[in-house]
Amino acid sequence: MVVIMKQGFTHKQLEDAVRAMEAGGVKVMISKGSETTILGAEGNAANLNQELLAQLPGVERVMRVSEPYKKANRKYHPDDSVVDIGGGVCIGGKKLAVIAGPCSVESEEQITDVAEAVKSAGARALRGGAYKPRTSPYAFQGMGVDGIHLLEKARAATGLPMVTELMSPDQLPMFEDTVDVIQIGARNMQNFDLLKKVGRYHKPVLLKRGLSNTIEEWLMSAEYIMSEGNPNVILCERGIRTFETYTRNTLDLSAVLAVKRQSHLPVVVDPSHACGKAWMVERMALAAVAAGADGLLIEVHNDPAHALCDGAQSITPDQFTALMDKLRVLAPAVGREL
């Protein structure tokens, strides 16, 4: 349930509304938007009397909310959220944020060269995997702690905030000290213990949609993080598993529109993992921005043919530069800037 206050309500009227809701056995979340103040009921709202609440001075109207997610719900928080990831970079709002870099960190020279190239082209943050969840136990699993340190060196050289994937709760203290954005991969989207632990930190979290998960399940995973106190969640559409086998996954651009209607959280799109084919990345990235994405996650490698991970879906620095040039033309047409 949400209680929407009238414009010009008094402090006493707000307090009275909060007390009346708390008397019904719920916690109250106060969301102050640019034009509207909303009181959201957290917990079982069955005992709240909607008619009595609607008659309180200062209350404009009361709405029942059917969705199980609350903190991620636009009805509780009507204004778009903007997540600050450090270095003056934000995800959400008018300015598009492009995050680029290799699937995995392979060497100091590789990650630094790519970081410098994508920054020069206009990327706002650096991605790179230090820990890699792979389908095969025999595939390259990442450099681990050494990879984190190499990402730190690339950040020092370029100033780009770094985004990398968390695999285990025991890595959290190190990530808290070093990483700017914690990525939760598709395979861990419903690892609820991990989500709750990440929620107890205040690092921004990039939450990828699971391999075959619905939009509601995705938002409920965001709710796990937010319910523990961390509001800094960025959603990432990276394709879902369907009957189609030509592409690695099926990029669900309709999810961008659906999620932004249901939730205030910013949404980025990863066309690299979605398609699995480098030649598709540019067009799908442009389509994602046209569909309303707040940013992109692009895999860029300086030698894709010899990449240790996902070379087939990685574009070169020159191709990334060409993509950024096209995004600069497209962005104003959809009310954005790069």
Q: State the pLDDT confidence band at 256, using cuts at 50, 70 and 90.
A: very high
Q: For 160-207, what is each residue's pLDDT tens digit? A: 999 999 999 999 999 999 999 999 999 999 999 999 999 999 899 999
Task: Decide if 159 contacts 112 (C-beta within 8 A).
Answer: no
Task: Decide if 292 contacts 252 (C-beta within 8 A).
Answer: no
pTM for the full model?
Answer: 0.90
In a domain? residue 24 = yes
Specify whether 10 is located in the same domain as 128: no
Count CA atoms closer than 13 A to 337's CA, side-chain side.
4
* pLDDT score of 137: 80
Specify whether 34 is located in the same domain as 150: no
- What number of residues does the chain have? 338
Specify whether 45 is located in the same domain as 130: no
> Average of pLDDT values for 231-243?
97
Average pLDDT, the chain: 94
Helix/strand/coil for 56: coil
Q: Which residues contact 135 (CB under 8 A, 6 or more apart)?
A: none
Specify whether 88 is located in the same domain as 198: yes
β 2-5/37-42 pair status? antiparallel
Alpha-carbon span 9 to 40, nearest angstrom: 17
Specify whether 201 is located in the same domain as 52: no
Specify whether 175 is located in the same domain as 212: yes
β 97-101/295-299 pair status? parallel
- What per-residue string of b and e applies to 206-233 under the rule 16 or more CB within 10 Å gives b? bbbbbeebebeebbbbbbbbbbeebbbb
In a domain? residue 78 = no
Alpha-carbon span 295 to 25, nearest angstrom: 40
**Phi and psi for 90 in degrees, rounded to 5?**
-125, 145
CATH number at residue 49: 3.30.70.1140
Specify whether 25 is located in the same domain as 158: no
Specify whether 187 is located in the same domain as 87: yes
Specify whether 168 is located in the same domain as 258: yes
Range of the domain at 41: 2-63
Specify whether 43 is located in the same domain as 159: no
Q: For 98-119, what is each residue's pLDDT tens digit? A: 999 999 999 999 999 999 999 9
Q: State the pLDDT confidence band at 139, using cuts at 50, 70 and 90.
A: confident
Task: Decide if 296 contacts 286 (C-beta within 8 A).
Answer: no
Alpha-carbon span 32 to 186, nearest angstrom: 32
Whether 220 has a pLDDT exceeding 90, the answer reads: yes
Give strand pairing partners of 183.
165, 206
Q: Count the domains in the chain.
A: 2
Specify whether 112 is located in the same domain as 27: no
In a domain? residue 75 = no
Q: State the pLDDT confidence band at 45, using cuts at 50, 70 and 90.
A: confident
Specify whether 273 is located in the same domain as 187: yes
